[in-house]
Amino acid sequence: MQRMFSLISMNKVSETQKFIQDHLKGQKRYLVVLLFILILGIALTSSLPLLYGKLVDHITEYRLKEFHIIFALYLTFSLLSLLLSSIEAFYGEWVSFLFSSQMKKNLFASIISLKCAEIEKRESGELISRLNGDVEVITSFCISLITSALTIIMNTAVALFFILRLSGTLARIALLFLPLSIFTNYYFKKKYKEIQRCKRRFRDQFYSFQVQILSNIMAFRPFGIENKYTDKFSEYMREQWKITQKEKQINICSTLIGGIVSNLSSFALLYCSAKLIWDQSFSLGSMTAFMSYISQLTREINRMLNLNMESQNVIVSMQRITEMENLPSERQQLTFNTICRPLNTIKTRNLSFAYKPERMVLSGLSLKISDPGLYTIVGKNGSGKSTLLKLLAGYYDTYIGQILIGDQKIESIPLSQLRGSVKYISGTPYIENLSFYDNIRFFYKDIKENNIREAYHLVGLSNYIESLPDGYHTLAGANGTNLSNGQKQKLNIARALASEASVLLFDEITSEIDGSSEAEINMILEQLATSRIIIHATHRIASAQMGRQIFVMENGKINIDGTHEYLLKHSALYKNLFVQQNQKTL
Where does the pLDDT of residue 97 fall: very low under 50, low under 70, confident under 90, or very high at 90 and above?
A: confident
Nearest partner of 525 among 514, 539, 510, 511, judged by Cα: 510
Indicate the DSSP class of residue 338. -
What pLDDT score was predicted for residue 230?
Answer: 86
Select the more confidently predicted residue: 506 or 586. 506
What pLDDT score was predicted for residue 219?
Answer: 67
- From 185-189, 198-202, 499-503, 515-519, the region with the lowest mean pLDDT: 185-189
Select the more confidently predicted residue: 500 or 547. 547
pLDDT tens digit sequence for 284-319: 777 777 777 777 777 777 777 777 777 777 788 888
Average pLDDT over residues 278-282: 80
pLDDT tens digit sequence for 517-571: 888 888 888 888 888 999 999 988 888 999 999 999 998 999 999 999 999 999 9
pLDDT tens digit sequence for 143-158: 777 777 777 777 788 7
**Topology of 24-325 in CATH?**
ABC transporter transmembrane region fold (1.20.1560)
pLDDT at 341 over 70: no
Structure pTM? 0.71
Percentage of residues in the chain having pLDDT higher than 90: 18
What pLDDT score was predicted for residue 334?
Answer: 57
In sequence order, what are the beta bridge partners of 505? 424, 535
pLDDT tens digit sequence for 449-493: 999 999 999 888 999 999 999 999 999 887 888 888 888 888 988
Tell me what the pLDDT averaged over the chain comes to: 82
Provide CATH code, domain 346-585. Answer: 3.40.50.300
In sequence order, what are the beta bridge partners of 114? 329
What pLDDT score was predicted for residue 552?
Answer: 94
Q: Are the beta carbons of 489 and 513 closer than 8 angstroms? A: yes
Nearest partner of 348 among 373, 384, 379, judged by Cα: 384
Nearest partner of 41 among 87, 102, 90, judged by Cα: 87
pLDDT at 392 over 90: yes
3-state secondary structure of 111: helix
Contact residues for 358 (Cβ-Cβ < 8 A; gap 6+): none
3-state secondary structure of 121: coil
pLDDT at 50 over 80: no
Percentage of residues in the chain having pLDDT higher than 70: 91
Q: Tabulate helix, strand, coil % of the chain (nearest 5).
A: 65, 10, 25
- Extract the runs of DSSP E, i.e. beta strands, from 476-556: 503-507, 533-538, 549-554
Question: Where in the chain are the domains?
Answer: 24-325, 346-585
- From 297-311, 434-448, 565-579, the region with the lowest mean pLDDT: 297-311
What pLDDT score was predicted for residue 7?
Answer: 42
pLDDT at 583 over 70: no
Q: Are the beta carbons of 522 and 543 closer than 8 angstroms? A: yes
Where does the pLDDT of residue 52 fall: very low under 50, low under 70, confident under 90, or very high at 90 and above?
A: confident
